[in-house]
Structure 1
Amino acid sequence: MKNLISNNINPKIIIGCGGTGGHIYTGVAIANGIKNKIPKSNILFIGSKNHMEMKEIPKYGFKIKGICLSGGRNKLVSIYSGFILLSQLIRSFISIKKVIKQFSPNIVIGTGGYVSFPTLCVAKNKNIPILIQEQNSIPGITNRIFSRYAKKICIAYDQAKKFFPKKKTIITGNPIRSNIFHLPDKKIACNKLGLKKDKPIILSLGGSHGSNNINNAWINGGLTKLIHLDLQLIWQIGNYHINKIKRNEILNHPNFRITKFIEDISYCYAAADIIVSRAGALTISEICIIGKPYILIPLSSSTDNHQSENAKVLEKKKAALIINDSEIEEKLIDSIVKLMNNIHMKKKMIKNMLSLSKPSATNDIIKEILRIILC
């Protein structure tokens, strides 16, 4: 790494990612880490047009090229949708070939999402070194396919090792946003959010696109129970049920803060006493770093059931309470109250979560990237 900087080599790096916050913010964390080590490095993202990465990545000061690709395995359910996906793939290969030819990267990094497949495929065909970062305990199909061609595969969960070549695979953990390591004081966070520090605060996260089932649990009685218990709620709703939620007069209650998307989650993490969320790998990694009592609700329809597998890791270590998708409305409030009133459980949960955290993940991944570039 020191040689790379002292020789004034300015690496060109492409990161292919998109579709969900987990893929996007992982890529951003890696890019920020590289920029901190080598300020003159040239980093370009490739994402899917009309997906959230096209808006999110430029916010962090990085350039992104958008291609037309909007589906994966689930689109192969009919001849028509399969044809649409095939035509998109062909166009995406042509676009990415042009981008890679013009940019001439030293390495291509895949962090997941639909766009990773054509990006890594073109890199492989042009003999450009590949590094894969897999966030989940059950890897995505693109990372499985291209692992044989990658120089290094960085994984977050020990369970993922069996899917990849042993000699090239390293457990690093998931890289997370730098502001998660430096949360504001709770009082400052509560003031910013307009909440009271002396009342318990629940943070509800449904993933980058929101959760239909979690939203329904709050609408169908959960909010009323929170008012009765005098609990506060920060509720990230995503795009689901937004019109129905806006029409609900109960949301005017001063204990609730409703948002479609959380721009700076550090204030919400700092304010929260208990966190309720889906079992996305990046969210889990972040919450293990901050160490807050945690209720996990794995998305039952996640690809390869990877969220349930992610959740099992925490469940095995007694680092979170788990609620099945089908039981949310029945168990959510009772689980919150149970956790809130059990000081011993909370302390043990926090200790176990912190033991699972990997705060050096970003630096460890960047070291591997720079080793590949220097070879």
Structure 2
Amino acid sequence: MPGTVKKDVVVGLDIGTSGIAVAVLNRSSVAIQEPLGFGFCSSMIMEKGFIGDSEAAAYNVKKALDEALTAAGVPFTTAYVNVDGPELVIRHGSVKQAITRRQVVDARDLIKLQQHLCETVLPEDVLSIIQLDNIRFYIDGEYVFKPQGCRGRELGLSSTVLAAPRRQMDLIWQCLRNAGLPPTTETVVGALAVAQGVLSGVERKLGVICVDLGAGMTKVVFINHNMLYKLSIFPAGAGNITADLAVGLHTTLEAAEKVKKEYGLGLIAGDVHVPNISGSGYNTVPGSLVHKIIKSRIEEILDFVKEFIEELDLGASLPGGIVLTGGGALLNGLTEVAQEYWLMPVRIGFNSLPGEEAPNEDAYRYTTAIGLASWGTGQVYPGMRQKAEKGFKGRIKSWFR
């Protein structure tokens, strides 16, 4: 049809602890990003980054994906999927190689060098690569933004390699294949995708810590000068608060979740009434007990982030402050408590892209998915990782194994 703009559609797929979220964006839009559709499927198939039931996971992924694509009304060509977990491995390294073929850098040189870097810094056969980050190329010792086609004698590369246990990656790839994801699908560390979705360019440049308080994990990342400096994952999140309340109040998870959302970190006068876990009658518990349970778990998470900050040895200098995001960040009173605990400015980070496409109270569910989808638009060499991965001597799982 004359005048119709062709859409370059990319999908962000967030396989989380409490559900699967999908965001479909049009990256060919004149605007920075155009949301086309969203999908969500509540599920508990993921624990600490590992998929428990691959078949159930594939079914739920397909369900959320179909919902988003139906809303978008267009097919997609590229998908980005998150990988997280406490066992995530981060290595930094640099390698060099002579430039052959008339001393002109071509795509084969770049792929070969990335392969060499991964084999050098990550020799373990028990690990599979998620992605490369902080990629910087050099020609004859000088930094070059786009080396392909440049002339020189020596090509250098420095990068951060992010990897996960092979078993974890096997399960994820199996799930994605069974759900019908295309071969062009790429993996991204979830914490970096979240940062992509909620941080401003100024914050990323000046130095900022992003804390993603999810259901089952708390992910913390420090970004400075637009580069990843440190990342850590704590195997506890907002879902643990709900579980603690259910046990402590002898009630159901549904009732515990309601109590958590209603009271948050505020002081509670009097008693709280919750349904008995047996389903008959109600339990009456002191409001002080509810407050103590919530505060205790939150302090454990805040302590983890505090140690992360202290290890950075930043002093009082963190111009971008700390950005809290994720479903757990919505806990009443958390911003004030966190700011006092960390002695740093804290704000809640969210992505405004969902707009009217998703209910306001559910918009936080799509933060990681949106970050994943937008991640691909900022890559210097789109598709480079996928091509390189197939040559990593089996350390990375491709679609054809």
TM-score by length of 2: 0.31
Higher strand share: 2
Larger Rg: 2
Higher helix share: 1
